[in-house]
Amino acid sequence: MRFLLVKFLLILITALLLQGCEGLRYLVQGDDTETSSKDECDEWKDAEDDSDKDCVDWDAAKFRTNAKKAMDNGNWEKSIKIYEALEARFPFGPESAQTQLDIAYAYYKNSDPESALAAADRFIKMNPRSLNVDYAYYLKGLVNYNRDIGFVQRFIPSDASQRDPGNARNAYDIFAELVRKFPDSKYAPDSRKRMIALKNNLAMHEVHVARYYMKRKAYVAAANRASYVVEKYQRTTAIPYALQIMQEAYTKLDMPELAQNAESLYKLNFPNGPPVPEYENATVSHKVWDFIGLEK
């Protein structure tokens, strides 16, 4: 009994000492919560908008209203800072999940793909049964779909199939996962269309690689790459071009039977030539770009 009493007194004394230390810290440093909040406000405060100056006293709804206002005005950087402050000050609540999605979208629009993907992944991990989890997958797909599109590609468009296909493959896989997991999602139809475009681009990328091998006189590698396109990417616009490469490569390799088979398949399936011209959607800038050889 005496041992328990001594133990209780020790715990009580320790608690009092800790409280005293905390009180001393408060007296020495002061309460810096308000100062911190004011500094936080200064990060996004608009000198021409008096409504920002009172953000120290904002509730969660006020944060969301002003973040959305910044997004509507295309001020993505400001909306990100407000959403980040909202997450820090109100990490829980019925709309905290929506805040995660909103900030992921803001990162995407602010050309910060890594942060957008991280935010979307966090949402999926924390809210796997959310009604909006399909949108998180869709946003991840969009981020990868539009990556590596810089100034040159926006104003002097180039052939996407000639660029590194890594992000295209990632986008295709994510859209495929969305369609598989959420076939009735409102984002599924657009995802399927993007998958078709991505698959065509991936197939044409393989054709470009095969053509490179042909230029290097690596005919076996070219034939194998073109054959891979025919096997892996059936029903894509790249098939006729792959068959042409196979015919030429096998001819160079003195394999007339295989060359004849490729030619027969081409004539049987594409008697009038490729149904979709390789540069059907090319703009004037595309044609100038190819003519001067900047992607050769």
pLDDT 10s digits, 143-196: 999 885 543 344 344 455 455 678 899 999 999 999 999 999 999 999 999 999
Nearest CA-CA partner of 235 in 260, 190, 270: 270
Q: What is the DSSP string of 245-256?
A: HHHHHHHHTT-H
pTM attached to this predicted model:
0.73
**Within-domain flag for 89:** yes
Counts for the chain of helices (H) and strands (E), in that order: 14, 0
Domain that holds residue 106: 59-124
Domain count, the chain: 1
CATH, residue 114:
1.25.40.10
**Within-domain flag for 2:** no
Determine phi and psi for 254, rounding to 5 degrees.
Answer: 60, 50
**Within-domain flag for 115:** yes
pLDDT 10s digits, 20-31: 444 433 333 444
**Within-domain flag for 247:** no
pLDDT 10s digits, 104-143: 999 999 999 999 999 999 999 999 999 999 999 999 999 9
Which tokens sit at 184? 């009735």
**Within-domain flag for 175:** no
Determine phi and psi for 146, rounding to 5 degrees.
Answer: -105, 10
Q: How many residues does the chain have?
A: 296
Helix or strand holding residue 191 (H, E):
helix 188-215
